[in-house]
């Protein structure tokens, strides 16, 4: 009798529901799933049910292709729209989701007791953020969260190896994180090579040491006098409790740029980021000292974004400390009416530790910045072809354990400019730690085609199967990255890494923007289409060196673009001369 009643109940439930009937709670579709726990992480324990998770829900951007098309027009020096950057309002309109998506996601959240007043939405509405207990997140996403431990430095994160969404939301949600993202961007402590106590300013040899004056001579900015009030501004992104020191900057200027002794930087807090002068960070000091030292007296802003991998989660630590700082920072900067025209970031991660759907959405946010006239530069990483994390692993994480080179992210995003590293002078050669290669997530952008094809012809069948020949190639450009003299906590240090190359190149772009603004022209904005066409003639081609890793010699630098040093290092005066012919009056 009981079985009959159950059968009857099932039959009644299976009849097509009326418009007012609730959707079945069990009707889920898997949104993302990992074949295995990413390299280096160990499952530690179930996440406590009261531990808080800040869920970021990305809604589809149906008009993104239109934004992308306009980005390439305004970044192409041969197009009549070159330099006609979009406003914040125009960009917001191009990435806004359909109203149906917004309504369905709002209704879904409300069905879980999450009303509008607890939701935080981006200005375009394409991101919805809400903080919930793990138990609620597991219910909403039909998943299980665990704490995972990384033994190299005892980092803990709370993640799921898969998650799902209700089937009726499948086309209305692109991504939800933190779920399957195991990335952990690192700063100087792990990815920059610290080489001990630094040198005395007297008697420095520019063949082996990088200082402000050495870089000015090498990259041809010596004697150029930027105008403080030209409007050119450099933004420096900082994460993971890295704080820039005012006193260290003053001491640095005393040693290496005395005319800038009264120079400083603006501090900007993101998501409650601190400005702790008692615990300065080596990465933050490096970025501020060289970004400011090369671009002085232009305005520099240091963005301190709160968040770090959490300590072991338990009932005593209920708050989620975000280890996804890029999205936190991007949400903030895209909401600014007038962001800096150049932004440098010296943090990176192995591409494969970042879920592809999440990487695409973050990459699209860099495109939004580019459309507004912002040049975004990232260091390429410090592990050669083995990526950027320690301990390195050159095995694929799809369960097959195939040997492969490891690209880095966000460097692999086609809407940012990736900066590799060189060392020595006369000639400069590729630094062996300079990460570079080919993305497994992003296809090669059109602006790279001829340059990358030439390199692949040079490479032949070497390393076949270890990299993606059709992927976006990195880096795009390069700059010195070895033996940089830095002041940290009042002491002199010598340090190396592509993390030094990125602020160096970015500062030179700020000088170029200064020149353009003073002559009534638009700033450069998204650099790559210009660099791979007209701008390439203003770069110093690097012909020697390689980036070994994964038991190989890695890729070799050679004539033209290569996946070690990109198109080369900057010659400021050549680039300025080239820009006089790049106003663009042909409709391509």
Domains of the chain: 215-308+325-579 (3.40.50.200)
The distance in angstroms from the start CA to the end CA of the chain is 76
Which residue is it, tokens 């917004």? Answer: 102
Distance CA 60, CA 58 (A): 7
What pTM value is reported for the model? Answer: 0.91
Write b or e for each residue in 397-436: b if 16 or more Cβ atoms lie within 10 A of its Cβ, otherwise e. beeeeeebbbbbbbbbbbbbbbbbbbbbbeebbbbbbbbb
Tell me which residues are annotated as active site: 283, 287, 499
pLDDT of residue 396: 84
CA distance 48 to 133: 9
List the structure tokens of 274.
Answer: 């601190």
Q: Is 562 annotated as a binding residue?
A: yes
Q: Which residues contact 325 (CB under 8 A, 6 or more apart)?
A: 185, 239, 240, 305, 307, 347
Q: Does 542 count as an annotated binding residue?
A: yes
- Which candidate, 462, 419, 432, places its Cα nearest to that of 544? 432
Phi, psi of 491 (to 5 degrees): -110, 150
How does strand 52-58 pair with strand 193-197?
A: unpaired
In angstroms, the Cα distances linking 201 to 194, 245, 295, 337, 510 are 19, 20, 20, 41, 26
C-alpha angle with apex 192: 189 to 198, nearest 5 degrees?
95
- Token readout for 568 is 């080369």
Residue 472, SS3 per DSSP: strand
pLDDT string in tens for the chain (588-residue length)? 333 333 323 333 333 333 333 444 559 999 999 998 988 889 999 998 888 999 999 999 999 999 999 999 999 999 999 999 999 999 999 999 999 999 999 999 999 999 999 999 999 999 999 999 999 999 999 999 999 988 877 778 899 999 999 999 999 999 999 999 988 776 543 344 556 666 777 778 999 999 999 999 999 999 999 999 999 999 999 988 899 999 999 999 999 999 999 999 999 999 899 999 999 999 999 999 999 999 999 999 999 998 655 555 554 444 444 455 688 899 999 999 999 999 999 988 899 888 999 999 999 999 999 999 999 999 999 999 999 866 678 988 777 888 999 999 999 999 999 999 999 999 999 999 999 999 999 999 999 999 999 999 999 999 999 999 999 999 999 999 999 999 999 999 999 999 999 999 999 999 999 999 999 999 999 999 999 999 999 999 999 999 999 999 999 999 999 999 999 999 999 999 999 865 544 433
| Bridge partners, residue 348, by sequence | 186
Pair 371, 415: CB distance under 8 Å: no
Strands (DSSP E) found in 475-529 = 477-480, 484-488, 491-496
Is the four-CA dihedral 335, 340, 342, 348 of positive or negative sign? Answer: negative
Pick the closest to residue 524 from 369, 419, 373, 311 (CA basis): 373
For CA atoms 216, 221, 222, 226, give the dihedral sign: negative
What residues contact residue 436 under an 8 Å CB cut-off, 6+ apart? Answer: 380, 384, 385, 418, 420, 473, 474, 475, 547, 555, 562, 563, 564, 565, 566
CA distance readout (Å), 86 to 8, 60, 93, 133, 235: 60, 21, 11, 39, 19
Nearest one of 36, 34, 38, 39 to 393, comparing CA atoms: 39
Closest to 558 (Cα-Cα) out of 567, 571, 549: 567
Check if the beta carbon of residue 395 is closer than 8 Å to that of residue 39.
yes
Give yes or no for a contact between 475 and 380, defined as CB atoms under 8 angstroms apart: yes
* Integer Cα distance of 88 and 316 in angstroms: 41
């Amino acid at each position: 009798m009981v079985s009959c009643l159950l059968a009857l109940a099932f039959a009644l439930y299976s009849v097509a529901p009326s418009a007012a009937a609730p959707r079945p709670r069990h009707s889920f579709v898997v949104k993302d799933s990992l074949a295995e726990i990413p390299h280096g992480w160990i499952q530690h324990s179930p996440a406590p049910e009261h531990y808080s998770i800040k869920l970021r829900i990305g809604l589809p951007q149906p008009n993104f292709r239109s934004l992308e098309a306009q980005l390439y027009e305004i970044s192409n020096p041969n197009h009549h729209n070159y330099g006609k950057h979009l406003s914040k309002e125009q960009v917001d309109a191009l990435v806004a989701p359909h109203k149906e998506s917004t309504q369905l996601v709002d209704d879904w959240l409300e069905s879980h007791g999450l009303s509008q007043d607890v939701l935080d939405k981006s200005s375009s509405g394409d991101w919805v953020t809400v903080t919930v207990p793990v138990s609620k997140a597991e219910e909403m996403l039909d998943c299980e969260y665990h704490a995972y431990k990384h033994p190299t430095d005892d980092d803990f994160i709370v993640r799921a190896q898969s998650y799902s969404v209700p089937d009726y939301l499948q086309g209305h949600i692109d991504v939800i994180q933190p779920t399957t993202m195991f990335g952990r961007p690192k700063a100087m402590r792990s990815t920059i090579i610290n080489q001990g106590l630094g040198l005395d300013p007297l008697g420095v040899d520019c063949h082996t040491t990088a200082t402000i004056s050495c870089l000015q001579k090498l990259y041809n900015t010596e004697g150029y006098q930027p105008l403080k009030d030209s409007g050119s501004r450099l933004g420096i992104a900082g994460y993971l409790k890295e704080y820039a020191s005012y006193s260290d900057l003053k001491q640095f200027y005393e040693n290496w740029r005395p005319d800038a002794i009264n120079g400083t930087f603006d501090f900007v807090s993101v998501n409650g980021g601190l400005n702790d002068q008692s615990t300065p960070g080596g990465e933050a000091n490096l970025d501020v000292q060289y970004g400011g030292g090369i671009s002085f007296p232009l305005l520099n802003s240091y963005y301190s974004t709160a968040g770090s991998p959490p300590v072991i989660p338990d009932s005593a630590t209920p708050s989620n400390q975000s280890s996804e700082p890029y999205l936190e920072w991007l949400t903030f900067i895209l909401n600014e009416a007038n962001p800096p025209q150049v932004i440098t970031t010296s943090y990176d991660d192995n591409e494969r530790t970042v879920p592809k759907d999440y990487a695409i959405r973050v990459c699209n946010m860099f495109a939004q910045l580019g459309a507004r006239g912002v040049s975004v530069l990232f260091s390429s990483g410090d592990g050669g072809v083995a990526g950027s994390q320690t301990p390195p692993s050159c095995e694929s994480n799809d369960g097959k354990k195939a040997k492969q080179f490891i690209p880095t992210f966000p460097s692999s995003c086609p809407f940012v400019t990736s900066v590799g590293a060189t060392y020595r002078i006369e000639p400069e050669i590729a630094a062996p730690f300079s990460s570079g290669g080919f993305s497994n997530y992003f296809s090669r952008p059109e602006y790279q085609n001829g340059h990358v094809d030439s390199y692949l012809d040079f490479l032949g069948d070497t390393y076949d199967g270890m990299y993606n020949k059709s992927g976006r190639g990195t880096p795009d450009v390069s700059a010195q990255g070895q033996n940089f003299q830095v002041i940290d906590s009042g002491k002199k240090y010598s340090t190396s890494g592509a993390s030094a190359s990125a602020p160096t190149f970015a500062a030179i772009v700020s000088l170029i923007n200064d020149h353009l603004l003073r002559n009534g022209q638009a700033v450069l904005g998204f650099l790559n289409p210009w660099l791979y066409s007209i701008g390439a003639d203003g770069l110093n081609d690097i012909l020697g060196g390689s980036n070994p890793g994964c038991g190989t010699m890695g890729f070799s630098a050679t004539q033209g673009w290569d996946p070690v040093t990109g198109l080369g290092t900057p010659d400021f005066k050549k680039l300025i001369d080239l820009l006089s012919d790049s106003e663009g009056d042909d409709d391509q």
